[in-house]
Structure 1
Amino acid sequence: MFTGIIEDIGEVSNLKEELDNLHITIKSGITSELKIDQSVAHNGVCLTVVAINNDEYTVTAIKETLDKTNLKTLKINDKVNLERAMLLGARLDGHIVQGHVDQTAVCTQVEQANGSWVFTFSYDFDVNNNLTIEKGSITVNGTSLTVVNSKKDSFSVAIIPYTFEHTNFNAFEKGTIVNLEFDVLGKYVAKLNSLKN
């Protein structure tokens, strides 16, 4: 389980394809604190550390993960939002994040506000009937955020300067593909409603 509070921005240092798998090597400031078999969220995708070498570590994404996330678009030197699993008893500063991406979305607009930024994303509502609600929680590339301007197949989020500087939001532009994890409580409610109909 994760909280959506990004700990570090890693940099992709190597990508190696093996059959349907992609081995992703990340250079990160938190590498020294990791261990083999530990879970780390990468742009919101929970992956297992399989190798560590100095300040770099490697994780493996399988076909199912690559098909449903933006990890297949990674290139050398790309920046990746990183978060280690939540410690039992720690504060839940963001919201409950599973590290299981529901689908990708496309950034359709980036607006500079007076001291902040507003990012708008569109997604396919027909995939699992995922939805957002005004002032509800959403995870974008692993970052816990509050929804504004919720619509059936799009939403916006307002980004403060700290988040802009300490996540890969500063690299987003129109057309950027991001990972979405919808609020787990909302997904249960949607599922229950679908069973009633």
Structure 2
Amino acid sequence: MFTGLVEEVGTLHSISKQGEAMVLCIRAGKVIEGVRLGDSISVNGVCLTVTAFSSTSFHADVMPQTYRHTSLKQLRPGASVNLERAMAANSRFGGHIVQGHVDGTAIIVNRIVDSNAVVFEFQLEHPSIGRYMIPKGSIAIDGISLTLIQVEESNFAVSIIPHTLSQTSLTHKNIGDTVNVECDVLGKYVERLLGFTSKAERDIDTRLTQSSSKSSKITESFLTEHGFC
């Protein structure tokens, strides 16, 4: 689990690609401190596993499922990437719950300077995930915990303060670029639970209907025979 607070911006050193599978070599510093094989590191919002590392870089595999559904496939050597280690149990929870499980991608359609902030407007490539977004709710863009300031059917916007812009890869993002989007997990759990509740209610209604439709074995002759009439 992550918090969406980017620890550092790394640099993609190299990519080894075979079909829709990739191995990324990423140059970094802070996130390598105390790293072990098998540790999780968020790369542009995607939870990846460290498969090898040195004092200046680490390697991570990208499987076909991740390749197909995230923007990692668009990375090229030299690209800047947001990095965050998995949350430690004794650390502050400064952002929101980020799993590193990308829901989809979005394209930057506008970038507007608003006093000391920059407003980024996005268009979802798969509008269906927009149902998990609410104004003033949380969202992770390329692994950055942000607050939604506007939500429409397939478009949304966030406002970036100068510190966040300068300390993340968003500073290099322009109109037409693609980013990874992870919606707040709470909405997804609620939707799933409500779906199960609805199914259970439908099953109960079906059983009641089937029960009431069965013909009763209690007839007038039955009652007479047993001394009730």
Q: Comparing both structures, which one devotes a greater share of its residues to helix?
A: 2
Q: What TM-score do you get using the length of structure 2 for normalisation?
A: 0.81
C-alpha displacement of 1:111: 0.3
Contact 2:20 2:68 in 1 (8 A): no
**1: distance between equivalents of 2:191 and 2:122?**
21
**2: distance between equivalents of 1:189 and 1:122?**
24
**2: distance between equivalents of 1:9 and 1:59?**
16
- Identify the residue that residue 105 of structure 1 maps to in structure 2: 106
**1: distance between equivalents of 2:171 and 2:69?**
23
Give the 3-state SS of the residue equivalent to 1:100 in structure 2.
coil
**1: distance between equivalents of 2:140 and 2:62?**
20
Closer, same or farther: CA 184–140 of 1 in aligned 2, 3 Å:
same
**2: distance between equivalents of 1:110 and 1:20?**
31
Deviation larger for 14-23 or 100-109: 14-23
**2: distance between equivalents of 1:27 and 1:148?**
33
C-alpha displacement of 1:103: 0.5
- Identify the residue that residue 42 of structure 2 maps to in structure 1: 41
C-alpha displacement of 1:33: 3.2
Greater relative contact order, per chain length (Cα 8 Å cut-off, separation 6+): 1
Contact 1:131 1:153 in 2 (8 A): no
Give the 3-state SS of the residue equivalent to 2:2 in structure 1.
coil
Moved over 4 A (4+): none
Q: What TM-score do you get using the length of structure 1 for normalisation?
A: 0.94
Contact 2:130 2:154 in 1 (8 A): no
Contact 1:131 1:152 in 2 (8 A): no
Q: Deviations over 1:134-172 (max 9, x none)?
A: 100000000000001111211110000000000011011
AA matched with 2:51: V
Contact 2:107 2:178 in 1 (8 A): yes
Give the 3-state SS of the residue equivalent to 2:179 in structure 1.
strand
What does residue range 136-175 of structure 1 map to in structure 2 within 5 Å? Answer: 136-175=137-176
Contact 1:130 1:182 in 2 (8 A): no
- Identify the residue that residue 127 of structure 2 maps to in structure 1: 125
Closer, same or farther: CA 99–61 of 1 in aligned 2, 3 Å:
same
Q: Which has the larger radius of gyration?
A: 2
Contact 1:121 1:156 in 2 (8 A): yes
Give the 3-state SS of the residue equivalent to 1:119 in structure 2.
strand
**2: distance between equivalents of 1:183 and 1:5?**
15
Deviation larger for 186-195 or 106-115: 186-195
Give the 3-state SS of the residue equivalent to 2:146 in structure 1.
strand
How many pairs are equivalent? 196
AA matched with 2:151: S
Residue ranges of structure 2 left out of the alignment (5+ in a row): 200-229
Q: Deviations over 1:52-100 (max 9, x none)?
A: 1230111010000000100000000000000000001321100001110
C-alpha displacement of 1:130: 4.0
